[in-house]
A and B are shown apart, each in its own frame.
Chain A
Amino acid sequence: MATSAQPISTASDAATAGEAQLRRRKINWGTTGRIIGVVIVTFIALAPFYWTIITSIKDSLEVVASPPTLVPHSFTLQSYISDFGGGSSFFTRDLLNSFIVAIITTALCVVLGSLCAYAIARMRFFGKSATLAIILAVTMFPIIVLVGPLFVVFTNLGIYNTYAALIIPDLVFTLPLTVWFLTSFFRDLPADLEEAALVDGDTRLGAFRHVIVPLAAPGVFTTAILAFIYTWNDFLFGLTMTSDPNGAQTVTVAITLFGGQFTIPWGQIAAAAVIVTIPLVIMVLIFQRRIVSGLTAGAVKG
């Protein structure tokens, strides 16, 4: 904490000592305020997740108890068991669908996106800035406008209600982001190494494969995580491009379908929310630093 006061030590000794003391007291105040603020922010960020977890393990009576219990008195996995079996067997299938769709979309994105981003970051060609502008504009567009036409086309092609009807539109919002993130990663890599490879007689694609790919692996990995999260979180295309809970429907849609005629199974809904978010929480905890650097990569350099 004292380090921040160090550079200002050119004034007379007495003044410096007094100033430093004053500064230290001020900074301590600031630190206390900061800790309180950070605790509040962390609490608000995590409290809803805590509430969901405890709702998912309470028994059916305690779930609707009034006043609500902040620490569960009962513990049961009944809600989880009901999610995976019983009257709502579509949940397991839809969970699997989400994994399949997210993994295929991510793989396609990473392959196509890295080629495109490499060209934009490293090569000169006519229409480069137009390409980037189009790609960026697409991410901002209201996706609902694509839904009607794609619904008509997919129905005519006979792929409505299949994985293809989800993977193809999911590419629309994941590909631009992939290209955007990867372009900024590739720009940060030293160009000398590739030139050396080219001088050594490697082809352009050879240089890409032997030099860029290994160096960019961390960036590509980060992008893959982001693409997976974005695809996993899609709801609109899942809702409109599938109609069969036991078909290609994804888990974000499944979670809206829980509900009885007379009672709402809150415990089951909470358990489903925990299951859907657990892969994301694990990813965030492990790859927090990478995700933050990926998200902010394009934004700072503009």
Chain B
Amino acid sequence: MLPYGLVAPVLIVILLVAIFPIIDAIRLSLLDNPLLPSGSDFVGLRNYIQVIGDPQFQGSIFWTIAFSAISVALELILGLLIALLINASFPGRGLVRAAILIPWAFPTIVSGRIWQLMYNDQTGIVTYILQGVHILRPGSTLLQTNWGILVATVITDVWKTTPFMALLILAGLQVISADLYEAAAVDGSNRWQSFWMITLPLLKNSLLIALLFRALDAIRVFDLFYILAGNQVQTMATYSYNKMFTGTTFDFAPGIAASVILAIFATVVAMLFVVWMGGISRQE
């Protein structure tokens, strides 16, 4: 019985604070207005139909997918490059690792604030540079257009999260035996060939796991859009929040419905990944 006793406290917390609320969210999303004692009538899928028909919610699906696809792709490529870069001994390597860990350690909301200092039109060095090279018109900033906001949030996210990606990939790289590269070098293969034939195949599992973690993290993005996008561009998570907490009490249940749709979306993506990863490992 001892193992169950040791595991129980954690499982009880997860049951009460994660599993139960997830089930409760489904129940609440089917009610008229859970915040009013008189409003607890069952209304079926009405809230879902309302949310799905809302052009703002449809927009939030688009921006969530666009943000996730672009930021995760960039983070994977840059993370791999940085991992290859620091996978060698050179003086000051520890300092470099500490330096790239600093953005990772920052609260996302504070990262958003920090980049806001550089994106705005009064103190913004990024705006000043972009206006200087005529990417932005005088007087305008990245945060004024929808695509500009997407670029701004992707840059901030890539800055903050790529180090984590790089360190995960680096850990995978360091497991690969140096003998393999030496054997390949003896056989006359160049660095580029070694990378394609040795590094990438052996790194595949690390890359896929990192990709899964990052994709699911990107889909639920909230903080960056909360601070950088105002309400001009919403993601599925900020849309849910805005419905639940900034509208009237009648928007509360539709907000929960939106968050349930996001949860289903994330689950589907996770399952596709698992099937895909299973398929890849079966091929081997």
Chain A interfacial positions (CB closer than 8 Å to B): 4, 7-8, 31, 34-35, 37-38, 41-42, 44-46, 48-49, 51-52, 55, 63-64, 66-68, 70, 112-113, 115-116, 118-120, 123-125, 128, 131, 134-135, 138, 140-153, 168-169, 171-172, 175-176, 179, 204-205, 229, 232-236, 239-240, 252, 255-256, 264, 266, 269-270, 272-273, 276-277, 280-281, 283-285, 288-289, 291-292, 295-296, 299-300, 302
Contacts and interface: CB of A to CB of B under 8 A. Distances in A.
A207 B45 CA distance: 54
B240 A144 contact: yes
Contacts of B85: 34, 37-38, 41
A276 B109 CA distance: 11
Given A38-B86, A115-B9, A146-B22, A125 B260 contact: no
A4 B128 CA distance: 47
B99 to A, nearest CB: 5
Nearest to A205: B2
A25 to B, nearest CB: 14
Interface string B38-76: 000000000000000000000000000000000000000
Contact of B171 (A276, A288, A289, A296): A296
B95 to A, nearest CB: 8
A135 B14 contact: yes
Given A55-B117, A119-B3, A284 B101 contact: yes
Interface in B100-134: 100-103, 105-111, 113-118, 120, 122-125, 128
B117 to A, nearest CB: 6
A68 to B, nearest CB: 5
Interface size for chain B: under 10, 10 to 19, 20 to 34, or 35 or more residues? 35 or more
Contacts of B216: 140
Q: Is the interface of A mostly helix, strand, loop or mixed?
A: helix
A169 B101 CA distance: 26
A233 B171 contact: no
A151 B65 CA distance: 28
B131 to A, nearest CB: 10
B124 to A, nearest CB: 8
Contact of B241 (A116, A125, A131, A144): A144
B97 A292 contact: yes
Contacts of B118: 48, 51
Contacts of A299: 168, 171-172, 206, 209-210
Contacts of A113: 10
Given A51-B117, A236-B222, A302-B209, 18 more contacts: A4-B178, A8-B185, A55-B123, A115-B7, A116-B10, A119-B7, A134-B19, A135-B10, A145-B21, A145-B256, A147-B259, A148-B255, A171-B17, A233-B106, A235-B223, A252-B110, A273-B113, A296-B171
Nearest to B258: A144
B117 A229 contact: no
A273 B114 contact: yes
A146 B17 contact: yes
A169 B21 CA distance: 11
Nearest to A112: B9
A159 B179 CA distance: 60
Given A42-B96, A55-B117, A302 B259 contact: no
A166 to B, nearest CB: 12
B262 interface: yes
Given A38-B96, A45-B102, A152 B237 contact: no
Contacts of B180: none
Q: Which of B10, B19, B25 is packed against the most chain A CB atoms within 10 Å?
A: B10
Nearest to A36: B85
A229 B216 CA distance: 20
B46 to A, nearest CB: 16
A67 B128 contact: yes
B115 A172 contact: no
Contacts of A148: 25, 28, 244, 252, 255-256, 259
Contacts of A171: 13, 17
B135 interface: no
Contacts of B220: 142-144
A48 B88 contact: no
B9 A288 contact: no
Contacts of B97: 288, 292
A119 B206 CA distance: 26
A144 B256 CA distance: 9
Contacts of B209: 299, 302
A8 B188 CA distance: 12
Contact of A142 (B82, B98, B164, B219): B219
A295 B167 contact: yes
Given A52-B114, A236-B222, A141 B99 contact: no
Contacts of A300: 171-172, 175, 206
A42 B241 contact: no
